Amino acid sequence: MIRLKTEEQIAGIRRSCKMLSALFCELKPLVKPGITTIELDRWVHNWIQKAGGKPAFLGQGDRKNPFPASICISINEQVIHGIPSKRKIVSGDLVSLDCGIDLDGFISDQAITVEVENVSDEAHQLNSVTRECLERGIAAVKPGARLLHIAHAVSEYAHANGYGVVYQYCGHGVGFAVHEDPTVPNEPHGANPRMSAGLVIAIEPMINAGTGDVDVLDDKWTVVTADGRLSAHWEHTIAVFKDHVEVLTERIV
């Protein structure tokens, strides 16, 4: 069931989103060769606590195998849900950072993909197209329009560039919980409700250089491309009002 938000509730989600984007602005320059992903996770955890929020992703999922970190860091062929570790970032890595904050019960969700120093042309092109897929998905959000317009916009642009769209993982409603209804796919399938005032969703294209097929590693979290080729991921939290649409998270430069 879709839980629509009041303007007051959206104001709370907006505050959470602004905090999250401020975090990304400070985090992005730290993603450099030599730093380990667990160091980045500790930095994120401390930043969120100091800012007065809670890391929304920490402990998510199955109680027997909860997500053990405050941020998902997925490198190269890793698509999403990468677990921070002793792995060092190296030049040429394509690093997806996905984080959420719980601020006074209001949840935000954003992801960016960082090109570390000199990435291949293939990686740069994939990242640019994925970012544009997100923008096209956002442009498809209109009060009264159907949800799958987003998937059409995202997938058409990805396929026109010869890329695969991850279809087993999707965007989602957000704001009161990390994952709410509706499911927001990047390839058109499933329910197609109208987008009405009070809808708050995370749109998050996951685009692969090869096919859209993915596997999950033995850690039961890390999602990787089935063909081992690169993947990129961008995400914003978006609110629908009666007569306009607002991207609540900030675009990170």
Does position 180 interact with Mg ion (CB under 5 A)? The reply is no
Residue 180 vs 204, nearer CB to Mg ion: 204
Q: One-letter amino acid identity for 146?
A: R
Residue 153 vs 202, nearer CB to Mg ion: 202
Backbone angles phi, psi at 198, to 5 degrees: 100, -10
Of 10, 19, 202, 209, the one binding Mg ion by CB under 5 A: 202
Instruction: Say if residues 97 and 114 touch (Cβ distance below 8 Å).
Output: yes
Instruction: Say if residues 158 and 195 touch (Cβ distance below 8 Å).
Output: no
Residue 93 vs 109, nearer CB to Mg ion: 109
Instruction: Say if residues 85 and 37 touch (Cβ distance below 8 Å).
Output: yes
- Stretch of 30-38, 135-143, 183-191, 233-241 contacting Mg ion, by CB under 5 A: 233-241
Does position 79 interact with Mg ion (CB under 5 A)? The reply is no
Residue 3 vs 92, nearer CB to Mg ion: 3
Does position 41 interact with Mg ion (CB under 5 A)? The reply is no
- Stretch of 141-149, 197-205, 221-229, 238-246 contacting Mg ion, by CB under 5 A: 197-205
Query: What token pair was written down for 249?
Result: 């998270």
In the complex, the smallest distance separating the C-beta of residue 57 from Mg ion, rounded to whole angstroms, is 8
Residue 153 vs 174, nearer CB to Mg ion: 174
Torsional class of 137: left (φ above 0), alpha (ψ -120 to 50), beta (otherwise): alpha
Instruction: Say if residues 84 and 96 touch (Cβ distance below 8 Å).
Output: no
Of 109, 115, 135, 187, the one binding Mg ion by CB under 5 A: 109
d(CA 168, CA 186): 9
Does position 102 interact with Mg ion (CB under 5 A)? The reply is no
Three-state helix/strand/coil letters over 174-201: CCCCCCEEEEECCCCCCCCCECCCCCEE
Footprint of Mg ion on this chain (CB under 5 A)?
Answer: 98, 109, 111, 202, 204, 235
